[in-house]
Amino acid sequence: MQKHDPGTWPIGIRLFNRPEHAERLLNSLKLQSTDLSATPMFVRIDGYQGSLDQEAGRPDRTLEVFNLAKRYFPHAQVHRHERNHGIAEVNFALQNDTFSDSSAEWSLFFEEDIVLDETYVEGLHHMIHLAHDIEEVVKVAIGQLNLGYILVPAEKTRSQFYLGQGTKAFAERRSFFFERKHLTEIYLRTIAGRQYSDRDESEVFAALAENGIFTIMGNNDVVHDRITAAMRRLHITSPESLFTDVGVEGETNFVHPEIAVSDLTTANVFHTTQEDLRQALPLLQAEAHAFEYRFFKDFWGGYMVSKSGRLATNVLIKKLFGSLKK
């Protein structure tokens, strides 16, 4: 396998108006076993103006967050937005920053409501090395198993690698970002003009369905999980949890649940090899198919009890009776 220098893999960090959470994440990055002093680093701080924090009367502390970012990582490019753009737009800007500024094949991304184990970045680098020559794998992480395992549990003999999801602490392949970029831009145009928290889920569904992406939720994480699945690519993770999901009030108030798999407490990402991943690949692809199959069955069930579904059923029944009369 071709060697790739982890120091060329940029890091993007999304922050907002919560210096206490920003400091916990930044401090955990500073304490990583991997030296990040020369790593290209990009930080975007979403704006206060027009935010839910402003509506709630909370003070503007984004300058504090800016100063924290510069103090922990003086070499980082830190951009502080004046106006609030929301999670989706700021994440996309971060991805543009990292992938456009560097020719690195992968970039790492972190959100503010997590605290990293000191080996997280090292582990993520290991996962990137394993996946680099396996084109189907476009995102890697350590923790945050796909919620599909709740309804379609992994076989008890499964171990080491599972399907992941979300955008809290992961790495993405550069080529995949540019491949799915136009779909992200369609999504962003659809939710533009209003607060991210006030997006029109039905508009998101219609715009993306027209382009072959079906999602019943319009939040950034789910949309990009659905894009990854629709493009037949894989987001994989090690089951061990090398970060703590602290959850916060406001735009990101969801704490990912723990999902039981056989090696949840015994897995060690550093003990895995590329051959292990290649052997797991058919199982991961089969699980991805099972998740999609279940999703579309549930989607059909929801459609059939909807107004449109009832209308379509009535039309079919009338046609059936009409043909019987003949």
Per-residue pLDDT of the chain (326 residues; tens, 9 = 90+): 344 566 679 999 999 999 999 999 999 999 999 999 989 999 999 999 999 999 999 999 999 999 999 999 999 999 999 999 999 999 999 999 999 877 889 999 999 989 999 999 999 999 999 999 999 999 999 989 999 999 899 988 889 999 999 999 999 999 999 999 999 999 999 999 888 888 999 999 999 999 999 998 889 999 999 999 999 999 999 999 899 988 765 445 666 777 888 898 899 999 999 999 999 999 999 999 999 998 888 877 776 666 665 665 565 556 555 555 55
Beta bridge partners of 169: 110
Give, rounded to a whole angstrom, the gap between the first and last alpha carbons of the chain.
Answer: 69
pLDDT score at 309: 55
Angle between helices 201-209 and 220-230 (to 10 degrees): 20
CA 84 to chain centre: 20
Kindly list the structural domains of the chain, giving each domain's residue range(s) and its CATH number in brackets, ordered by start: 6-325 (3.90.550.10)
Task: Give the span between the Cα atoms of 235 and 288, in whole angstroms.
Answer: 10
- Supply 115's token pair: 């605290």
Task: Give the span between the Cα atoms of 60 and 48, in whole angstroms.
Answer: 6
DSSP 210-273: TTT---S--SHHHHHHHHHHHTT-EEEEESS--EEE---SSS---PPPP---TTTTT--GGG--
| Alpha helical stretches, state H, the chain | 19-30, 52-55, 62-72, 87-101, 120-131, 148-151, 174-191, 201-209, 220-230, 274-304, 307-325
Per residue, the 3-state secondary structure of 79-94, as one string, reads EECCECCCHHHHHHHH
The sheet carrying 77-80 orders its strands as 77-80, 41-45, 11-15, 106-111, 169-173, 137-142, 234-238, 162-163
pLDDT score at 165: 93
Q: List the one residue out of 242, 250, 255 whose CA is nearest residue 31.
A: 242
Beta bridge partners of 142: 238
Contact 48, 62 (CB under 8 A): yes
Owner of token pair 């984004």 = 62
pLDDT score at 1: 39
Task: Give the span between the Cα atoms of 87 and 199, in whole angstroms.
Answer: 12
Longest distance between any two alpha carbons in the chain, whole Å? 81
pLDDT score at 2: 42
Q: Could you tell me which residues come within 8 angstroms of residue 314 by beta carbon, excluding any fewer than 6 positions away?
A: none
Give this prediction's pTM.
Answer: 0.89
